[in-house]
Amino acid sequence: MPETRTFTIDTLPGAAPLDVPYAEVRGERDGPRLTVVAGVHGTEYTSIAAVREFVQALDPAALAGSVTAVPVMNPPAFWARSPFVVPVDGKNLNRSFPGDPGGGYTDVLAHRLFQRFATGTDYLLDLHAGDLPEALEPFTIYDESPVEEAARGLAAAYGLGHVVRQAAAGRTVGGSTSAAAADAGIPAIIAEAGQNGVLDRASVELHRAGLANVLAHLGMTGGTVPAASPEEHPGWEWLRTPVDGWWEPAVATGERVAAGDRLGVVSGLLGGVAHEVVAPVAGVPLFLTSSPAVVEDGLLLGLARQAGA
């Protein structure tokens, strides 16, 4: 059984102390220190469920090294059922790492979480899923850094169909756990499976299989990593709408598109095309907004670039 503990954050500006439950399992043999987190976004339930089940199933007698598991990194968003953002100040926690001890609520939360659960670990896995208005094809992300080959190994071992490398310059996703960890010299990935805030068993099992694969990849268990050949993407194009309107995608996640293909349309509430969305490069949409309601500068989809595009 894991050791269950609570990390109390008592320095959040203008707020009561916040308790973050976590668990630790120490193996009977020496090995790496692995941190597994979820719930950075509070309504991505498949990833939270996977971390809960994963840590309960670990056997210290069969484990080399140690695992720290945090199923819900963002309790305020979890309890409020708030997609994407911390409800206290409306900031996205996964755009706020490594945080700022002198900043606002989310900045301080990110700082304390990063210092407690990322600093000092050997590897970091951050599990996610498609949030309430978000359809998603399973994928992993790692960041360009001096430790990127180790991070790429984690991303491939996780066993999902797509792996995206994010360049350090002009990051599409700045302030994420994996980007902040890469800057600190910690191999890390974000793993995504599940969509629309639905707790579906198949996606939970994808995450659990990925976690088992990573343990085997790191030599922390005696398991083997199944052979896999994920499609590797050299980066992202995140497409936004310049206007408010009614969003209708013309493609599905996982569908291959060519440069210039029509990806969808934003129209007025009474009809008429306000903005047509076309693919700037060839690639694969790995997530898209499934809600018709979009506001100016709202994110519509993430197009993973095809290698060579």
Tell me which residue of 222, 279, 234, 276 sits closest to 255, measured CA to CA.
279
As a whole number of Å, the end-to-end CA separation of the chain is 48
Mean pLDDT within 154-161: 97
Q: What is the pLDDT of residue 303?
A: 98
Cβ-based burial of 215 (10 A; exposed 0-12, middle 13-18, buried ≥19): buried
Nearest to 180 by CA among 236, 104, 100, 74: 100
Q: Which residues contact 198 (CB under 8 A, 6 or more apart)?
A: 45, 46
pLDDT one-digit tens code per residue, 107-129 = 999 999 999 999 999 999 999 99
Measured CA to CA, the distance from residue 252 to residue 137 in angstroms comes to 9
Which amino acid is located at 45 in the chain? Y
d(CA 131, CA 133): 6
Residue 4: how many CB atoms within 10 A of its CB? 11
CB neighbours of 133 closer than 8 A, spacing ≥ 6?
83, 196, 289, 290, 291
Q: What pLDDT, on the 0 to 100 scale, is given for residue 308?
A: 82
Tens-place pLDDT, residues 61-112 = 999 999 999 999 999 999 999 999 999 999 999 999 999 999 999 999 999 9
pLDDT tens for 244-301 read 999 999 999 999 999 999 999 999 999 999 999 999 999 999 999 999 999 999 999 9
Bridging pattern class, strands 245-249 and 293-294: antiparallel
Asked if the peptide bond before residue 242 counts as cis, ω within 30 degrees of 0, the response is no
pLDDT, tens digit (0-9, with 9 covering 90-100), for 274-285: 999 999 999 999
Report how far residue 22's alpha carbon sits from residue 70's, in angstroms, rounded to the nearest whole number.
5
pLDDT at 309 over 80: no
Asked whether the predicted pLDDT for residue 1 surpasses 80, the reply is no
pTM of the model: 0.97
Alpha helices in the chain (DSSP H): 45-57, 75-80, 105-117, 148-157, 177-183, 201-217
pLDDT at 170: 83
Q: DSSP string of 94-131?
A: GGSTT--TTS-HHHHHHHHHHHHHTTT-SEEEEEE---
- In angstroms, the Cα distances linking 25 to 54, 56, 58, 64, 271 are 11, 9, 7, 10, 56
The Cα–Cα gap between 309 and 307 comes to 6
Tell me what percent of the residues of the chain surpass a pLDDT of 90: 94
Segment 6-24, tens digit of pLDDT: 999 999 999 999 999 999 9
Q: What is the dihedral of CA 267, 43, 173, 119, to 10 degrees?
A: 170
- Find out whether 305 and 258 touch, Cβ atoms under 8 Å: no
